[in-house]
A and B are shown apart, each in its own frame.
Chain A
């Protein structure tokens, strides 16, 4: 039982390049989330998915797109990376009454 996995762990991009961050969970959770973490700003929600086939914008969706490929996988795409997207990106999933969120190890992205 791996929990939530993310790939890649690290990535360096040039401004204007595109990339997809991958996330998968093996806990059969319906809800999945993408956050970015920046110093002094906590975690901010980019997009979330309440169930397979549905996605919704969070607090900071501009410059990103997502795909909920199936119940397990939720990917985040940067179509044209900008230096302001330099951050640490976390994927999470949740289920149950308490709503505990389970996080992946993160992807550290540097956009030059």
Chain B
């Protein structure tokens, strides 16, 4: 089955860039996702990338996709204290119906 791996914790200083990494298993995935979970809340889609793209930029967010190595990364430029959250990488699961497999999540701590 699918297995999405992430490191559990990342600490950065306010104003620095954050890079959160993820490895996934299914090379046929059409979309790959990044979700954000703020304390005490549900997950919310942050951004996604289509599998035929290498990079997607959206304001302070840059997503890089390396299909050969099955590696996905999320870069947050000029990290702010409001970016403190858990970030989940996700890929579609087998069996359809828009199921996804989530990684373990990376907790981002931003130090003022």
* A residues less than 8 Å from B102 (CB atoms): 35, 42-43
Partner among A58, A94, A99, A103 whose Cβ is within 8 Å of the Cβ of B44: A103
* A residues less than 8 Å from B88 (CB atoms): 42-43
Known: A33-B99, A42-B104, A42-B105. A103 touches B42 (CB 8 A): yes
A40 touches B104 (CB 8 A): yes
- Interface residue? A100 (CB, 8 A): yes
A101 touches B98 (CB 8 A): yes
* A residues less than 8 Å from B40 (CB atoms): 105-106
In chain A, positions 1-40 with a C-beta closer than 8 Å to chain B are: 4, 31, 33, 35, 40
Q: What's the minimum C-beta distance from B107 to chain A, rounded to whole angstroms?
A: 10
Question: What's the tally of chain A residues with a CB closer than 8 Å to chain B?
Answer: 26
Nearest-neighbor residue (CB-CB) of A49 within chain B: B97
Known: A94-B98, A101-B98. A42 touches B45 (CB 8 A): no
A105–B44 Cα distance when bound, in Å, is 10
Q: What's the minimum C-beta distance from A51 to chain B, rounded to whole angstroms?
A: 9
Secondary structure of the B contact surface, majority rule: loop
- Interface residue? B61 (CB, 8 A): no
A99 touches B42 (CB 8 A): no
Known: A40-B8, A42-B88. A99 touches B100 (CB 8 A): yes
* B residues less than 8 Å from A103 (CB atoms): 42-44
- Interface residue? A50 (CB, 8 A): yes
A65–B86 Cα distance when bound, in Å, is 29
B43 touches A100 (CB 8 A): no
- Enumerate the 3 nearest inter-chain pairs by beta-carbon distance, A residue then B residue, closest first: A103-B42, A99-B98, A42-B104
Q: Which residues of A come within 8 Å of B, CB atoms?
A: 4, 31, 33, 35, 40-43, 45, 48, 50, 56, 58, 90, 92, 94-95, 98-106
- Beyond the given pairs A41-B104, A99-B31, A99-B100, 5 more chain A to chain B contacts, judged by CB atoms under 8 angstroms and listed by A's residue number, are A56-B97, A99-B92, A101-B35, A101-B100, A106-B40
